Chains A and B, each alone.
Chain A
Amino acid sequence: MMFQYSDEDLIAGLRQRNSSYIDFLYQEFFPIVRHHLLHNSGTHQDGEDLFHDGLIVLYNRIQTEPFKLECSLKTYFTAICKNLWLQRLERRYKLIYHAECEVQEEPAEYVTEDHDPTEQNLEQQRLFHKNLMQLPVECRRLLQLYCLKIPYREIAKLLKYKDEVYVKTRKYSCKKMLRKKIIKDPECDQFIKHHGSRNVR
């Protein structure tokens, strides 16, 4: 049997990035997002991605205090996802799109805020995360420690590397591996088209 959480509980749980609340949100909200997408030129995978991005936007929103809901969280989340999908469709296909609301409630007013990540940024972050997760565990750990500003000497001890120089070299190679993976990912095309060419591989 699944627990029922109030909107306030869900917001508090998401604010702490609590896994059980995120699970609950997925089970409750994902079907709505998927339904919306399947009826609006989207696929199941688009639904997964949109739910992912919508939750990131919601997470960013609830970090700013005070956060006040003027409708149910479900309606609010659905509005975020619809807005994102609208932007994505416009960017991808340049189509005119009219949203319909499947949630049997009044549609929520949704205005993109300045600190919201852009739709394109969300997609880029997803691309980075996907490729980061494909790196060897040791590389991921090394990059994490480096980003935590742990001194090279400490990293060498933690990962049992022979010295700092090796840590540095390894860090470069891991970073390079990640960069190459990202650039080779077909989804990366849209982000680098203004910055270079993919011909040289």
Chain B
Amino acid sequence: MEAEMSDDWIDRYNNDELDEYEKALFENKMLADPLLRSEVYIDACLNRFLMDFELQDLMKKIRAASRKNSGGKWLLDIFLMIASILVLSSIFGVFYLVRSSAETTPVGLPKYAGQEGQKVQVDSGKRNVIFPGDQRIPKDLTKNNFESLAEYEVLVGTGSRSDQFKLISPNVNVSIHIGTEIKFVWQSYNKQVPLYLVILNNHGITVSKVALNQVSSFNLKTKGFKSGLYYWKMMAEEKMVVMGKFTVL
């Protein structure tokens, strides 16, 4: 009876559907039960509200307008936030690329060639690329690019200062395709001594010279190299530490 009362008697009471006996019983219960009293009051108000369809329709539309406008702003905020993140990422990305490129790539390495012994430009204080000149290799000198140079052949694989320097890669004789990088990795026990990587062609002409200050690896980019045999030597204090060769196919 109790459960039945609370389920539909409230409704029936407010709709005046209870008979006299039920009504008296219900009102007695209301006197003793404040929660029931509240429910009856809320139900009566609710009935009036539910019957007012125009009001409900208007409220729905006002809520929709509010949601639409604040929702639009929310979307705009999200869009702006994403756009800002993308712009910042791009800026940092470009900055990082430029910086890492400056640190690891010898700018213009393949472009330059010069005669050995020619005075080179040294930008002191940093790890630098030193360009021995802006002279292109004369065409007649590249005719037999794959012929070995006897004086250098005997030096390939040899070196000095083995107590201070240990070459890990590359092998002293490798063949690669144009554009492939050659990774030079070494251990140097005295990093204060300036180290240079010198690339020479098979005529003994210095193609490039790279300063390797306080690093233990370097990627030689062969993009722009002509096919042929090249020799490389790592130099410390004007002395050859190790020599090798590579063939660009």
Q: How far is the CA of A148 from the CA of B64 in the complex (A)?
A: 23
The verdict on A26 contacting B37 (CB below 8 Å), with A126-B59, A147-B51, A179-B10 known, is no
| B86 adjacent to chain A (CB < 8 Å) | no
Report B24-54 CB contacts with A as 1/0, cut-off 8 Å: 0000000001111111111101100111011
Q: How far is the CA of A30 from the CA of B67 in the complex (A)?
A: 13
Tier of interface size on chain A:
35 or more
In chain A between 48 and 63, which residues have their CB closer than 8 angstroms to a CB of chain B? Answer: 48, 51-52, 55-56, 59
B66 touches A197 (CB 8 A): no
Q: How far is the CA of A30 from the CA of B64 in the complex (A)?
A: 14
Closest to B54 in A: A17
In chain B between 52 and 105, which residues have their CB closer than 8 angstroms to a CB of chain A? Answer: 53-66, 68-69
Q: Which residues does chain A contribute within 8 Å of B55, judged by CB atoms?
A: 56, 125
| B11 adjacent to chain A (CB < 8 Å) | yes
| A153 adjacent to chain B (CB < 8 Å) | no
A178 touches B46 (CB 8 A): yes
Q: How far is the CA of A176 from the CA of B61 in the complex (A)?
A: 26
Which among B7, B35, B69 has the greatest number of chain A C-beta atoms within 10 A?
Answer: B35
B59 touches A23 (CB 8 A): no
The verdict on A19 contacting B36 (CB below 8 Å), with A125-B55, A125-B59, A128-B45 known, is no
Q: Which residues does chain A contribute within 8 Å of B57, judged by CB atoms?
A: 17
The verdict on A179 contacting B43 (CB below 8 Å), with A23-B68, A56-B55 known, is yes
B54 touches A52 (CB 8 A): no
B8 touches A172 (CB 8 A): yes
The verdict on A55 contacting B58 (CB below 8 Å), with A30-B69, A48-B66, A128-B49 known, is yes
Q: Which residues does chain A contribute within 8 Å of B49, judged by CB atoms?
A: 124-125, 128-129
| A27 adjacent to chain B (CB < 8 Å) | yes
Q: Which residues does chain A contribute within 8 Å of B43, judged by CB atoms?
A: 175, 179
Q: Which residues does chain B contribute within 8 Å of A52, judged by CB atoms?
A: 59, 62-63, 66
| A92 adjacent to chain B (CB < 8 Å) | no
* Interchain nearest-CB distance for A143 vs B (Å): 6
Q: How far is the CA of A30 from the CA of B65 in the complex (A)?
A: 11
| A186 adjacent to chain B (CB < 8 Å) | no
| A173 adjacent to chain B (CB < 8 Å) | yes
Q: How far is the CA of A101 from the CA of B94 in the complex (A)?
A: 52
* Interchain nearest-CB distance for B12 vs A (Å): 9
| A97 adjacent to chain B (CB < 8 Å) | no
Closest to A146 in B: B50
A59 touches B39 (CB 8 A): no
The verdict on A179 contacting B42 (CB below 8 Å), with A48-B66, A147-B53, A200-B34 known, is yes
Q: Which residues does chain A contribute within 8 Å of B59, judged by CB atoms?
A: 52, 56, 125-126, 129
A19 touches B46 (CB 8 A): no
Q: How far is the CA of A179 from the CA of B41 in the complex (A)?
A: 10
Interface residue from B7, B37, B58, B60 paired with A195 (Cβ < 8 Å): B37
Closest to B46 in A: A128
Which among B34, B50, B57, B65 has the greatest number of chain A C-beta atoms within 10 A?
Answer: B65
Listed in ascending order, the chain A residues whose CB lies under 8 Å from chain B are 17, 19, 22-23, 25-27, 30, 48, 51-52, 55-56, 59, 124-126, 128-129, 132-133, 143-144, 147-148, 172-173, 175-176, 178-179, 182-183, 188, 191-192, 195-201
Query: Which 8 pairs of residues, A with B, have the shortest CB-CB distance?
Result: A196-B38, A196-B34, A197-B34, A26-B65, A200-B35, A196-B37, A192-B38, A195-B41
Besides A197-B38, A199-B34, 8 more A-B contacts (Cβ < 8 Å) are A17-B54, A52-B62, A56-B58, A129-B49, A148-B53, A176-B7, A196-B33, A198-B38
